[in-house]
Amino acid sequence: MSLEAEVARLKDERHAVLLAHNYQRPEVQDVADYVGDSLYLSRKAREADRPVIVFAGVRFMAETAKILNPSRTVLLPDLKAGCGLADSITAEQLRAWKAAHPGAVVVAYINTSADVKAEADYCCTSSNAVKIVESIPADREILFLPDMFLGDYVRQRTGRAMHLWVGDCPVHARMRPEDMARTRAEHPGAPIVAHPECGCATQALPHVDRVLSTDGMVRFAEETRAPEVVVATEVGILHRMRRLNPTTRFVPLDAGTVCPYMKEIDLEDVRDSLAENRYVIDVPEATAARARQALERMVAA
């Protein structure tokens, strides 16, 4: 029996739903029930009525699923699937930052640990960060964390004077304005779509046609009639874009933009996760209860 067939059989046996992020390996995306960005997958996890959720993504996504749907068993197929950006701030550091800005509203990107979310007023993803910040009364001071490039982009879009945590994603931050300029020269006329975590996106904003979440890029791929599009984000997304639109050529801004955490999970891990009920992601209820309101605001926005 093929690995794909084994996964399908075990998924049925366990009454499990398999969620996969847009950066997952193509073969993992292909066996998933739902593929999408972190907001879409959070919503799918929240409404999942099957008893088991297998999250082919990274740890903070599985923790989010558990917080939003606590009666389900949430499995992360490989515990090494962390996130360099989420590691850039601890709950203790956030408490110290809050103490220096009493009364400030805390907006935490979904790419944070459950402990950090428990200290936040709002969570957001790349697709609704602007909307969330715009919903906060104009006279309130805002602490935005942990991605400074996303924060700077939101600051430019909203005109809000937010304090930004100096964190970044090691995968996206390596893309610089010089890469943007070079690619533009190599592919004249091709629209450039960029994820807001990119180290190049905010500084090179005039050159970027669209700043989008990963699902935003997928929708762009479906709709574009351009012969060529330059994509500035993790290369795993090219699988969906190319499949949805085989006539456009999707070119990575930098083919080395690979998230090692997202690539930890392969098909065997997914199979073993279902067969051996591993690795169960639990969030202590005291933490989950404090993080839930911020996450509910995120999924509602």
Angle at 81 between CA 79 and CA 84, to 5 degrees: 125
Q: Does residue 191 contact residue 221 with C-beta atoms inside 8 Å?
A: no
| Angstrom distance (rounded) from CA 218 to CA 57 | 17
Site for ligand 13P in 218-277 (CB under 6 A): none
Dihedral (Cα; 117, 119, 125, 130), 10-degree rounding = 170
| Secondary structure class of 86 (helix, strand, coil) | helix
The string over 222-234, giving b where at least 16 C-beta atoms fall within 10 Å of a residue's C-beta and e elsewhere, is eebebeebbbbbb
**Applying CB under 6 A, which part among 90-98, 167-175, 223-231, 248-256 lies near ligand SF4?**
167-175
Binds ligand 13P (CB under 6 A): choice among 24, 214, 224, 273: 214
104-133 footprint of ligand SF4 as x/- string (CB under 6 A): -------x----------------------
User: Counting contacts by CB under 6 A, is residue 37 touching ligand 13P?
Assistant: yes
**Applying CB under 6 A, which part among 39-47, 124-132, 206-214, 254-262 lies near ligand SF4?**
254-262
Give me 76's structure tokens.
Answer: 């992360």
CB-wise, 21 or 292, nearer to ligand 13P? Answer: 21
| Secondary structure class of 130 (helix, strand, coil) | helix
User: Counting contacts by CB under 6 A, is residue 111 touching ligand 13P?
Assistant: yes
Report the nearest approach of ligand 13P to the CB of residue 277 (Å): 26
User: Counting contacts by CB under 6 A, is residue 196 touching ligand SF4?
Assistant: no
Q: How far is CA 96 from the centre of its chain?
A: 26
Binds ligand 13P (CB under 6 A): choice among 125, 202, 224, 245: 125
Give me 224's structure tokens.
Answer: 């574009």
Report the nearest approach of ligand SF4 to the CB of residue 57 (Å): 8
Give me 145's structure tokens.
Answer: 């964390």
Q: Which among 246, 228, 235, 238 is positioned nearest to 183, based on CA atoms?
A: 228
Binds ligand 13P (CB under 6 A): choice among 17, 19, 20, 38: 38
Q: Which partner, ligand SF4, ligand 13P, none, binds residue 113 by CB below 5 to 8 Å per kind? A: none
Question: What residues make contact with ligand 13P under the rule CB under 6 A?
Answer: 22, 37-39, 111, 125-126, 169, 197, 213-214
